[in-house]
Structure 1
Amino acid sequence: MAYRTRLVTLGLLDSFLVLMALYLSYYPLHPSIIIETKLVMIISGITLVVCHHIFASYYRLYNKAWEYASVGELLAIVKAVTFAVLTTAVIQYLVHFEIYVRALLTTWMLYVLSIGGTRFVWRMVRDTYLKGDTSKKRTLIIGAGAAGVMVARQLQKSADAELEPIAFIDDDPKKYKLQILNIPMFGDSSQIQDAVTKLCIDNIVIAIPSLKQNELKRIFDECAKTTAKTQIMPMLEDLMTGKVSVNHFRDVQVEDLLGREPVELDIAGISERVSGKTVLVTGAGGSIGSEICRQICKFNPSKIVLVGHGENSIYLIDMELRREYQGRIEIVPVIGDIQDRARIFDVMDEHRPFVVYHAAAHKHVPLMEYNPREAVKNNIYGTRNVAEAADTFGVHTFVMISSDKAVNPPNVMGATKRFAEMIIQSLAQNSDTKFVAVRFGNVLGSRGSVIPLFKKQIQAGGPVTVTDPEMTRYFMTIPEASRLVIQAGSLARGGEIFVLDMGEPVKIVDLAKNLIKLSGYSIEEIGIKYTGLRPGEKMYEELLNENEVHPEHVFPKIHIGKAKVIRAEELGRLIGSLLDMSEMEMHDTLIAVANNKYERRTALAAVK
């Protein structure tokens, strides 16, 4: 009903405006025009009105939201008016064998002005007097390209938007001192702080989808010097699929500031190893294990076996995968402890996987310093159980998730991970199964990592605790770590240790500062407290020691490391004796073995 009322109102208004334009154009020219009959003017008026409505309908003038009128709508008006006037000229010639050219040109001009004017006056009234909420947050848009203009236009159009675009920032010198959508260009990214101060900016929106992570970090660092809240426009794929609208801005995440591009996958190679195969994942309920499951399912395995000790975590990933892949992939949840050798062998025998991803492990460094026996039982004995089961039942590829803490480890956790690497390297020498390990640094957002801890401390009002101002770590995202593990499986030849080129290490204190700013606080409000190194911690982590480095990449951003392999007999003897040792002796032995100093240590002991 409202649409019909609007249609009738616009139709009557346009009819009046069309006739007014025609007859106003006649009177100024009346002295020089000889009209033999009023019939020509009457026919012209009727023709003009009828043609206007025909062409207005064709160009959908009555279906446009004129409160948002812009150049596109003006162009539609010009087309409709032009064709209506041309048709009237043809009718004049057919009726009177003459065309009143000057009168029709004047009619065209008045016609466009009146029809277009009424529409654009309504937009001006709406923008000026009907905005409603005047408490919108003053917003600086970084990026005056297509995405930035789209963001600004959407904010201007939406009466419900909380943000009001005030100015643009862009590094393109051609855009300096221009106005886009009546929004001025303030300057380049070096002037962000100045713009926020002078224009009283409340919010900053980064609207450059093509921005590389190192550039995003540079711009965010400039934004962080201000008091304005910084957000980023949604991902283009989310906009295209309709998941979010252009004005649903998200907060900048720590992951956005890593300063390097993620590894691209060899899709064909992975699909060959995974598609249509049975895949088994241990630790499937953990941060890395669950993400491996998500990534693997994209390659359509025939079956995925989710092995984990925690009932709730396995339930959650099982339900998540079933919602997405039920009917396409057979999903088998298995509750089992990798320390239970008989259970692991039964599971491997029943499902006969083609690929095994071994993600189950104890990984908390200080905690394992207090519980070395549990670290040995899980990380060493558990890995041996899974690896030997894979060897026994003919698994094609076995991928173990290792850590940068396995390099020159001063702690039990790192030493047990290096020990686990030795186990699979030893098995790889005489097995048809391709055993490989994958090393990477800290994973942002994983359980027990610094990000969740920092977030809790910030929510509690601070301070954020950092061990040392100079402590650095390598970081990567959970999806990136999982993709690397999957990629390593497709590259496996047997016995390799794959290492991701993770770029430059990140200072923990810088990570803490960024997270405080991203949470909307200042460093002074939350505070940072230095607590000193915890048991077993290193100031700097390494991905390969100097004897392991192979400079060439086997895949973009992936190295192969080569570490010393202990003889199988010696390794077996060590594993068999570990649990008979005292915790102190176990600790020292693990560290010595992991650092390739075990033989020297035992020789010295024999001398004594």
Structure 2
Amino acid sequence: MLRFATRTTQDLLDLLVLSAAFWMAFLLRFELELSLPILKRAMFGWPYVVGFEYFVLVSLGVTRFAWRYIGLREITRLLVAISLASFVFVVLRIVTEATLEVFPYSIYAMLPLGVIAINYTFAFMGVAGLRVLRRLFGERQAQIRHTSKTHTPAVPTILIGAGEAGVIVAKEIRGNPGLGIQAVGFVDDDRAKLGSVIHGLTVLGTTADLGVLAEEHGAEQALITIANAGGGTIRNLVRACEAAGLPAKIIPGIFELLDGRVNLQRIRDVSVEDLLGRQAVELDNAGVSRFLTGKNVLVTGAGGSIGSELCRQVAHFEPASLILVERSEFHLYSIHRTLLAEHPDLTITPVICDVGDAARVERIFEQEKPDVVFHAAAHKHVPMMELNPGEAVKNNVFGTLCVAEAAERHHAEAFVMVSTDKAVNPTSIMGATKRVAEIVIQALDSRSDTKFVAVRFGNVLGSTGSVIPLFKEQIAAGGPVTVTHPEMVRYFMTIPEAAQLVMQSAAMGAGGEIFVLDMGEPVRIVDLARDLIRLSGFEPEVDIAIEFVGTRPGEKLFEELGFNAEKMDKTVHPKIFVGKLASHTWDEVLGGLEVLEQVQESCDRQVVRRALKEVVPEMLEPKAEAATGEVRPSRSALEPARLESSVA
């Protein structure tokens, strides 16, 4: 009933405004003096003109637009409707004048051209003005309701970036007072925009003026609204905000703004992931869908950082079933519960299993008959594997062999192994065991109908045992933050990015490839530590100390992504390269496995290293790097060129 009453009221208001526009047009055209003949013509034409105009508005859907959310698109449709009605009046005026001698009374249907022009202007302004006033009133009421509910005023905020994304954010903030943001203006380093007004917000100055502008306008925070900002740009903006005394905020997935999708409820503090500037992955959804949809997909290490994200990503492609293989009860329970909540209609089978347990693995493959296997189970902590060398061989080599041979025996379509950049010219036991695993699956591919591929990438931000959680713990404890060496550099990517590119590589592979993911620019660990300290609200070396402790056993100062002997070719995906090494024969691999089988129970690091060296002759001895507080020029300027030459 309320909706009917609202709609009826709106229709009556439209008719009233159109009538007022009609009479104002006659009055202005004849200078407020209407003779009796002119008044008769006006009285005769009034219902027909207003009725036809309203008919056109209804026909073009203008009356169905919600007044509360009127925007440029709706205003444009209104302009088209009023223009169309006025065009018909002009045509009718010309036709009527030509037939006036035959039909003298048709003069009452003949509107003066001046009346038509004035009526056109007033009708458009009046109908549009009604809707704009309703929107302004609604936004004001929403702001009052939000303030009364929360009892907290909106936070005065400077928007950084007056580009396309900034325009969308400004519009969303104006239309959603519940966000608790009061935008006071833009800053933008494009001086051509200075002084311009966007959605009622002025471009106040550049980022260099942040401090002064914040004080002048009472800003209490800054929101980064640049959709394609790289990590270096965000880092500079965060430092500018710190210098101005403003907390810096960002919107996760801000690249989506350019598609018109915006969720400002997700505004949060800038994180270390933002500073790396990793761009969103563009998947070949059709290709990945052909690879996964309707298939039985098995993921080993399903409770780990990469394994659990692989499970989440795979689930979106609607496999016939998803088998979670994990030896940690708690981690298996966690990912199983998460997937059940997100995908209640998907068949999900949680299985507790050690990948080295051949009998258990065999039973799983017999029962579940997986079509695609993602092998993410592995020991990955470099120093820990130096202390437990036999376990690295047992899990990373023979665990991989166990699952891979089961996939072959049960005719799985594809087996995808998650590898690491530490497998390249390895200095660590962990890296060497992963290189052996690559050799094993390449040899299996040469004799099997199953497609075997490996995907190699560097460090993953926030994964268990990685440097980011360690730094956060140390900062929370008041420091010091421990860094192995001032020149230590690593490649990083986010967990979702890694999982998506693993799926994409698997869908592209023909078998036998070692895919190498584009890790971007290497990051100096000491810079990462400083950024994380600043993002936590402290000043490096003032509030939180950084201590250099020296490299640990098996560590390199920098990691490589490809062998010089590899021919790294581009693929159809810009972030994925492929290198085909000359694969070993299965007899050669068996010989190496026999050597390693003798040492898988050994705790002697040197014994295990010698055995691995027989299978991986490119394995290097780690160089002990002394800790030093002196920060010399980073290798990061050199390593990108090294990477580019290997993947060109």
Shift of 1:360: 0.8
Please give the alpha-carbon distance, in whole angstroms, between the structure 2 residues aligned to 1:189 and 1:396: 54
Question: Aligned to 1:386, which of 386, 403, 410?
Answer: 403
Q: Deviations over 1:265-299 (max 9, x none)?
A: 45555455444443322112212112223333444
Please give the alpha-carbon distance, in whole angstroms, between the structure 1 residues aligned to 2:183 and 2:595: 67
Which is further off, 97-106 or 419-428? 97-106
Which is further off, 342-351 or 515-524? 515-524
Question: Aligned to 1:596, which of 608, 613, 617?
Answer: 617
Please give the alpha-carbon distance, in whole angstroms, between the structure 1 residues aligned to 2:543 and 2:25: 72
Go from structure 1 to structure 2 and tell me whether the alpha carbon gap of 1:81 and 1:303 turns closer, same or farther (over 3 Å shift): closer
Question: Aligned to 1:575, which of 569, 590, 596?
Answer: 596
1:201 aligns with 2:219: yes
Q: Which amino acid aligns with 1:536?
A: P
Which is further off, 449-458 or 63-72? 63-72
TM-score, scaled to structure 2 = 0.73
Q: Is the 8 A contact 2:328 2:352 kept in 1?
A: yes
Q: What pairs with 1:409-424 in structure 2 (closer than 5 Å)? A: 409-424=426-441
Shift of 1:359: 1.1
Go from structure 1 to structure 2 and tell me whether the alpha carbon gap of 1:525 and 1:83 turns closer, same or farther (over 3 Å shift): farther
Please give the alpha-carbon distance, in whole angstroms, between the structure 1 residues aligned to 2:404 and 2:583: 19
Tell me what 1:290 maps to: 308
Q: What pairs with 1:524-539 in structure 2 (closer than 5 Å)? A: 527-533=544-550, 535-536=552-553, 538-539=555-556
Shift of 1:505: 0.9
Please give the alpha-carbon distance, in whole angstroms, between the structure 2 residues aligned to 1:598 and 1:118: 77
Q: Which amino acid aligns with 2:592?
A: L
Q: Deviations over 1:306-336 (max 9, x none)?
A: 2111223223333444455555x54332221
Runs of at least 5 residues in structure 1 that lack an aligned partner in the other structure: 601-608
Go from structure 1 to structure 2 and tell me whether the alpha carbon gap of 1:80 and 1:349 turns closer, same or farther (over 3 Å shift): closer
Which is further off, 24-33 or 455-464? 24-33
Q: Is the 8 A contact 2:249 2:268 kept in 1?
A: no
Please give the alpha-carbon distance, in whole angstroms, between the structure 1 residues aligned to 2:111 and 2:204: 53
Please give the alpha-carbon distance, in whole angstroms, between the structure 2 residues aligned to 1:554 and 1:71: 41
Tell me what 1:405 maps to: 422
Q: Is the 8 A contact 2:27 2:33 kept in 1?
A: no
Which is further off, 498-507 or 275-284? 275-284
Q: Is the 8 A contact 1:177 1:185 kept in 2?
A: yes
1:361 aligns with 2:378: yes
Q: What pairs with 1:251-266 in structure 2 (closer than 5 Å)? A: 251-261=269-279, 264-266=282-284
Tell me what 1:606 maps to: none
Q: What pairs with 1:406-485 in structure 2 (closer than 5 Å)? A: 406-428=423-445, 430-459=447-476, 462-485=479-502
Q: Deviations over 1:131-181 (max 9, x none)?
A: 655943222223334432232233234443422222223455553332223
Please give the alpha-carbon distance, in whole angstroms, between the structure 1 residues aligned to 2:109 and 2:286: 74
Please give the alpha-carbon distance, in whole angstroms, between the structure 2 residues aligned to 1:397 and 1:23: 77
Q: Which amino acid aligns with 2:487?
A: E
Question: Aligned to 2:247, which of 204, 228, 243?
Answer: 228
Q: What pairs with 1:242-253 in structure 2 (closer than 5 Å)? A: 245-246=263-264, 248-253=266-271
Question: Aligned to 2:154, which of 136, 141, 154?
Answer: 136
Go from structure 1 to structure 2 and tell me whether the alpha carbon gap of 1:412 and 1:69 turns closer, same or farther (over 3 Å shift): closer
Question: Aligned to 1:155, which of 166, 173, 195?
Answer: 173
Q: Which amino acid aligns with 2:306?
A: I
Please give the alpha-carbon distance, in whole angstroms, between the structure 1 residues aligned to 2:143 and 2:222: 22
Please give the alpha-carbon distance, in whole angstroms, between the structure 2 residues aligned to 1:331 and 1:20: 66
Q: Percent same amino acid at aligned positions?
A: 36
Tell me what 2:297 maps to: 279
Please give the alpha-carbon distance, in whole angstroms, between the structure 2 residues aligned to 1:308 and 1:590: 28
Tell me what 2:581 maps to: 562
Q: Which amino acid aligns with 1:568?
A: V
Question: SS at 2:598's partner residue?
Answer: helix
Tell me what 2:516 maps to: 499
Shift of 1:215: 5.4
Q: Which amino acid aligns with 1:312?
A: F
Shift of 1:537: 5.1
Q: Deviations over 1:414-434 (max 9, x none)?
A: 233233334334544544544
Shift of 1:595: 5.6
Q: Is the 8 A contact 2:303 2:326 kept in 1?
A: yes
Please give the alpha-carbon distance, in whole angstroms, between the structure 1 residues aligned to 2:66 and 2:305: 50
Which is further off, 517-526 or 435-444? 517-526
Please give the alpha-carbon distance, in whole angstroms, between the structure 2 residues aligned to 1:427 and 1:50: 80
Question: SS at 1:578's partner residue?
Answer: coil
Shift of 1:578: 0.2
Question: SS at 1:552's partner residue?
Answer: strand
1:177 aligns with 2:198: no
Q: Which amino acid aligns with 1:230?
A: K
Q: Is the 8 A contact 1:141 1:165 kept in 2?
A: yes
Q: Is the 8 A contact 2:489 2:559 kept in 1?
A: no
Q: Is the 8 A contact 2:512 2:580 kept in 1?
A: no
Go from structure 1 to structure 2 and tell me whether the alpha carbon gap of 1:99 and 1:515 turns closer, same or farther (over 3 Å shift): same
1:307 aligns with 2:325: yes
Runs of at least 5 residues in structure 2 that lack an aligned partner in the other structure: 94-104, 622-648
Q: In the comparison of the two structures, how many residue pairs are matched? A: 598
Go from structure 1 to structure 2 and tell me whether the alpha carbon gap of 1:223 and 1:69 turns closer, same or farther (over 3 Å shift): same
Shift of 1:400: 2.0
Q: Which amino acid aligns with 1:138?
A: P
Question: SS at 2:593's partner residue?
Answer: helix
Please give the alpha-carbon distance, in whole angstroms, between the structure 1 residues aligned to 2:502 and 2:57: 61
Question: SS at 1:160's partner residue?
Answer: helix
Q: Which amino acid aligns with 1:313?
A: H
Q: Deviations over 1:337-368 (max 9, x none)?
A: 11212212222334443332211111122222
Q: Which amino acid aligns with 1:560?
A: G
Tell me what 1:513 maps to: 530
Please give the alpha-carbon distance, in whole angstroms, between the structure 2 residues aligned to 1:123 and 1:430: 69
Go from structure 1 to structure 2 and tell me whether the alpha carbon gap of 1:312 and 1:41 turns closer, same or farther (over 3 Å shift): same
Q: What pairs with 1:30-41 in structure 2 (closer than 5 Å)? A: 34-35=35-36
Q: Which amino acid aligns with 2:531?
A: N
